[in-house]
Amino acid sequence: MCDFSLAHIQISSGEQVMRLYYIYIVLLVTLIVLQLTFGKNTFADVNLEEYDMTKVNIIDTPFWCSATPEERQEAINNLTEEQRIVALENGTERPFTNEFWDSKEVGLYVDVISGEPLFSSKDKFDSGTGWPSFDRPIEGTDIVEVVDKSHGMIRTEVRSEYGQAHLGHLFNDGPTETGLRYCINSASLRFIPLSEMDEKGYGDYVKYFN
Residues 97-124 pLDDT 10s: 999 999 999 999 999 999 999 999 999 9
Same domain, 122 and 160: yes
CA 198/CA 78 separation, integer angstroms: 23
- Is residue 12, in this structure, part of any structural domain at all? yes
Looking at the chain, the number of H-run helices and the number of E-run strands are 4, 9
CA 49/CA 41 separation, integer angstroms: 17
Q: What is the pTM of this model?
A: 0.72
Same domain, 131 and 38: no
- Is residue 156, in this structure, part of any structural domain at all? yes
* Domain end marker among 55, 76, 97: 55
- Is residue 62, in this structure, part of any structural domain at all? no
Same domain, 10 and 110: no
CA 125/CA 85 separation, integer angstroms: 25
Same domain, 43 and 78: no
- Is residue 60, in this structure, part of any structural domain at all? no
pLDDT in tens, 168-204: 999 999 999 999 999 999 999 999 999 999 999 999 9
Same domain, 44 and 102: no
Q: Is the pLDDT score of 8 beyond 50?
A: no
With bands split at pLDDT 50, 70 and 90, how would you rate the model's confidence at 81?
very high
Active-site pick, 87, 183, 189, 197: 183
Same domain, 84 and 38: no
CA 37/CA 188 separation, integer angstroms: 60
Same domain, 47 and 100: no
Q: Is 183 a catalytic residue?
A: yes
Q: What is the pLDDT of residue 31?
A: 77
Same domain, 37 and 109: no
Same domain, 81 and 158: yes
DSSP assignment of 166-208: EEEEEES--SSTT--EEEE-GGGEEEEEGGGTTTTT-GGGGGG
Domain limits for position 77: 68-209
By the 8 A CB rule, do 209 and 144 touch? Answer: no
Domain count, the chain: 2
| Domain of residue 106, CATH code | 2.170.150.20
CA 195/CA 105 separation, integer angstroms: 11
Q: Helix (H, G, I), strand (E, B), or coil: what is residue 159?
A: strand
Same domain, 98 and 198: yes
Instruction: Select the more confidently predicted residue: 40 or 186.
Output: 186
Same domain, 10 and 86: no
